[in-house]
């Protein structure tokens, strides 16, 4: 039983090495994996990079269309109805 597990593990490792060697030769595959890893790394460090806290900010206000008062001088600007 232990011998079968070792043999199975060795075969899986050998198949993985063959896959990696084949993948290294494919330039388009390397480009794809590098783009994927770039975005994974970027998403990992977004809390450090981004100054905006999505929990504190009201995200619903960011998709509201402009009001006519805002167009004519701000929220409480010179133009009052």
For 8-64, the pLDDT digits (tens) are 889 999 999 998 888 889 899 889 999 999 999 998 988 888 877 767 766 676 676
Name the pLDDT band for 67 (thresholds 50, 70, 90): low
Computed from CA positions of residues 26, 32, 33, 38, in that sequence, does the dihedral angle turn out positive or negative?
A: positive
Rounded CA gap, 10 and 52, in Å? 48
Do you know the residue count of the chain?
81
What is the structure's pLDDT at 70? 55
**DSSP at 64:** S
Rounded CA gap, 73 and 78, in Å? 6
């Amino acid at each position: 039983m232990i011998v079968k597990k070792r043999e199975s593990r060795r075969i899986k490792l050998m198949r993985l090495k063959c896959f990696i060697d084949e993948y290294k030769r494919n330039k388009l595959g390397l480009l794809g994996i590098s783009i994927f890893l770039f975005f994974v790394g970027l998403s990992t460090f977004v809390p450090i990079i981004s100054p905006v806290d999505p929990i504190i900010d009201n995200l619903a206000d960011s998709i509201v269309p402009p009001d006519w008062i805002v167009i004519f001088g701000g929220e409480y600007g010179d133009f009052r109805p």
